[in-house]
Amino acid sequence: MILVIGATGTVGSALLPLLAGQDVSLRALAHSEAGRERIEALGVEAVEGDLDQPATLDRAVEGCDRVFLVSPPHPDQVAREQATIDAAGRAGIAHMVVLSVMGAGADSPIAFARWHAEIDEHLRASGLGWTILRPSGFMQAHLLPVATVTAEGRWYGMTGDGATAYVDLRDVAAVAATVLTTPGHTGAVYELTGPAALSQPEAAAQLSDVLGRPVAYVDLPAEVFRANLAGAGLPDWLADAVVALYQTTRNGHAATVTNTVELVTGHPPRTYRELVETRRDDFDVS
């Protein structure tokens, strides 16, 4: 029995259909009625639970032998995920797969990278069988500036010519599905990237080519970019984390490329152009 925690989030919503299409017993955590409906629409058992209520986690993991865990960035993320790992330990889970982040480390300038370092260490010390997935930035989060491109033909950023090997979240889900359903991954830390490091100006050029109209990349000072994030409603801690992440990219420290997606799944990671081709209608200005 596999339990997916975070089944209606970005990665989880791509992972659950992959698992539902296989011959496995499957359960997913639901913390709202809307989430329950989305899970059950795939023919998957939904179990009520809340990462802030450990007792609900004990019920959720009961009878499972594998767990996938992802939760959104949040100041309480460490406590939430560590409590979930502890619940898995009490239940005697055989294998736990946790989504971390590339560059996780106690000395990272990025808040959620520091948080994931704490979570990863807790998992290693838990006594569980484990696999840690560390993706780079998701293409869908960083390379699809739909609102400003459709309204202005502009892409605003602060990364300069710095490049990141952004990964399609569907490839991350494919790796997770493989790890959860095949042997040989216990104790592995998988760094997951796309096939090439790409700067935002380079991505804007590719987007221009696919859309058939110009998309201008506009590089902003960090303080202006952060003000824009705050104006869009991001809380201070998240705005600061995004700026720190993009500063790392700008400084050339995020361009690592791995072949792990292909090694684990047997297929190469998707390119940015492939993603944009599938999302072309999102940029329709007609």
Any domain includes 239: yes
Any domain includes 48: yes
Q: What range does the domain containing 67 cover?
A: 2-135
- Tally the C-alpha atoms within 13 A of residue 223's C-alpha that lie toward its C-beta: 0
E runs forming strands in 139-192: 154-157, 163-164, 188-192
Count of domains observed in the chain: 2
Any domain includes 176: no
**Mean pLDDT by 10-residue block, N- to C-terminus, for the chain (286 residues)?**
96 97 95 94 95 92 96 96 96 97 96 97 98 97 96 97 97 98 97 98 97 97 97 95 97 96 98 97 88
DSSP character string of 41-93: TTT-EEEE--TT-HHHHHHHHTT-SEEEE-----TTHHHHHHHHHHHHHHHT-
pLDDT at site 178: 98
Query: In whole numbers, what is the pLDDT of the chain averaged over residues?
Result: 96
Pairing mode, strands 95-99 and 66-69: parallel
pLDDT at site 177: 98
pLDDT at site 285: 81
Q: Does one domain contain both 207 and 131? A: no
Phi, psi of 173 (to 5 degrees): -65, -40
Any domain includes 221: yes
pLDDT at site 130: 98
Q: Does one domain contain both 153 and 280? A: yes
pLDDT digits (tens, 9 = 90+) for 70-110: 999 999 999 999 999 999 999 999 999 999 999 999 999 99
pLDDT digits (tens, 9 = 90+) for 204-239: 999 999 999 999 999 999 999 999 999 999 999 999
Any domain includes 12: yes
Any domain includes 236: yes
